[in-house]
Amino acid sequence: MFKMSPASIALISVLLAPLSGEAGGLPLPPLPSTPLSFQPGDVFVSLEPGPVQWRLPDGTLRGTLLSIVGGWGEGMAFDRGGNLYVNRWRYDGMGLTGNTVEMFNTLGLSQGGVGSGYDCDPHTIAFDAAGIAYVGQAGCRRSILKFLPGATQPTEFLVAEDNQGVFWMDLAPDGCTVFYTSVGPNVKRFDVCAGAQLPDFNAAPLPGGMTHDLRVLPDGGVLVASGEVIARLDASGALTRTYEGPAESTLWAGMDLVGDGTFWAGNYYSSTVYKFDLATGAVVASFNTGTPANTVVAIRVKK
């Protein structure tokens, strides 16, 4: 799936040439002290118009990753090498076709679209420890596509849905169980090792009834964005608490765990990203992307 084309290699060679130390025989100024590559703790925000904001761990804007592929920006994931993958919806509002997954290398440079066999509207992506990629499609066949490392043609799994195919997903530590949402009241599950649908994880319909992004927690529970609240489920699927930010119109969309007992979550309506304490529910940090309302979609933290 994830092979770099000769054209992409040539493009990167041109873009990186100024970093070699000289240009036209003249010395270049010293490189900035801020690392030029993705670093642990960096926060990435996928914006629906297409760009991806690259921010430092405290939320300060580091730069913007510019897409060379059409399509709205949707879910994101990192592979084992630290490259970032961004799902591209099939239409970006300007008549351009996306319907693919775009890869950015660790310097934040686009390698173009990767993989093939997408039906329509790839919205979410996850990698397992072996480098296998799973892409969830929100439209058409509304399936999960499995890409082995180096492969361009996927294996397809048809799965149960609520309202919008496989909208968001996360992979459990067992490497087999995909937890996913479908813009409904449930956290759904599918075993990609056995190719079998599993019962819904939640013991009762979730508050908000509009599930979006989710993360499997170390204790076996699940954290899931659900409309106006973020819900925490324990390992049995029971609701144990909810999280809410400041008083504002809210649709929680993308989110990600930081790894220190906190998590970032994006309010699609306000385009503000909040950092919550997982244990107390307190908001400990926030930033606004400076983009219009209804543009913040996915959040990823570089581990």
Instruction: Report percent pLDDT > 90 for the chain.
Output: 79
Classified as helix, coil or strand, 117 is coil
State the alpha helices, DSSP H only, in the chain.
Answer: 6-16
pTM of the entire structure? 0.87
To 5 degrees, how large is the angle CA 165–CA 166–CA 171?
A: 160
Rounded CA-CA distance 213/266 in Å is: 10
Eight-class DSSP state of 9: H
Instruction: Compute the average pLDDT of residues 225-239.
Output: 97
For residue range 22-35, list pLDDT tens digits in order.
223 333 334 344 55
Tell me how far CA of residue 166 lies from CA of 41, 75, 124, 189, 223, in angstroms: 27, 11, 7, 10, 17
Short-list 200, 240, 199, CA closest to 219:
240
For residue range 91-101, list pLDDT tens digits in order.
656 665 789 99
Report whether 203 contacts 181 (CB < 8 A). no
Give counts: helices (H), strands (E), the chain.
1, 26
Rounded CA-CA distance 88/111 in Å is: 14
Would you place residue 3 in the very low, low, confident or very high pLDDT band (cuts 50, 70, 90)?
very low
Binning the chain into helix, strand and coil, the percentages to the nearest 5 are 5, 45, 50
What pLDDT does 136 receive? 98
Q: What is the dihedral of CA 95, 100, 103, 104, to 10 degrees?
A: 20
Q: What are phi and psi of 11, to 5 degrees?
A: -60, -45
| Domains in the chain, CATH or no CATH each | 6-10+40-301 (2.130.10.10)
Residue 10 has pLDDT above 50, yes or no: no
Residue type, 217: L
Report whether 216 contacts 206 (CB < 8 A). no
What pLDDT does 12 receive? 32
